[in-house]
Amino acid sequence: MLSFCPNCGNMLHVEEGAQCHRFACVTCPYIFNITQRFSWRTYPQMKVLDDVLGGAAAWENVDSTEERCPRCAHPRAYFMQIQTRSADEPMTTFYKCCNYECGHRWRD
């Protein structure tokens, strides 16, 4: 597919000609008639995201506290504190339910 003029290197523009559409250069007299239909699709690749909290390994050596789970009402939850904002802001506390069947996560 042509997108730049082979004579002067400027970008070609699509315009409607007498019999068909064509690519035309705005600075020189170059014209290329479009004789067939063409199209293409480009699908962007999704960026692989890192788990900010460290994944499942981050919950291996954490302490538990008396915090009631909002989903199953279990009386204990694991917790960890991480500085997620600037240094003058308080730390964010993340909780995970101690009930293995629930495993609900929330933050305070």
| HSE-CB for 4 with a 13 A CA cutoff | 5
Band of pLDDT at residue 101, cut at 50, 70 and 90:
very high
- Residues of the binding site: 5, 8, 25, 28, 69, 72, 97, 102
Q: Residue 28 has what pLDDT?
A: 93
Through-space distance between the first and last CA atoms of the chain, rounded to whole angstroms: 56
Average pLDDT taken over every residue of the chain = 87
Domains 1-39 and 56-107 belong to one CATH topology: yes
Domain boundaries, the chain: 1-39, 56-107
Domain spanning 1-39, CATH class: mainly beta
Out of 11-20, 37-46, 57-66, 92-101, the most confident range is 92-101
Which residues line the annotated binding site for Zn(2+)? 5, 8, 25, 28, 69, 72, 97, 102
Report the phi/psi class of residue 54: left, alpha or beta, with left for phi > 0 and alpha for psi in -120 to 50: left
Looking at the domain 56-107, which fold is it?
N-terminal domain of TfIIb (2.20.25)
pTM: 0.52
Among 62, 66, 76, smallest CA distance to 104 is for 76
Helix, strand, coil abundance in the chain, percent, nearest 5: 5, 30, 65
Cα separation, 53 vs 89, in Å, equals: 18
Is residue 25 very low, low, confident or very high in pLDDT (cuts 50, 70, 90)? very high
Please write the tens of the pLDDT for every residue from 61-76: 889 999 999 999 999 9
Least confident residue range of 13-17, 41-45, 91-95: 13-17
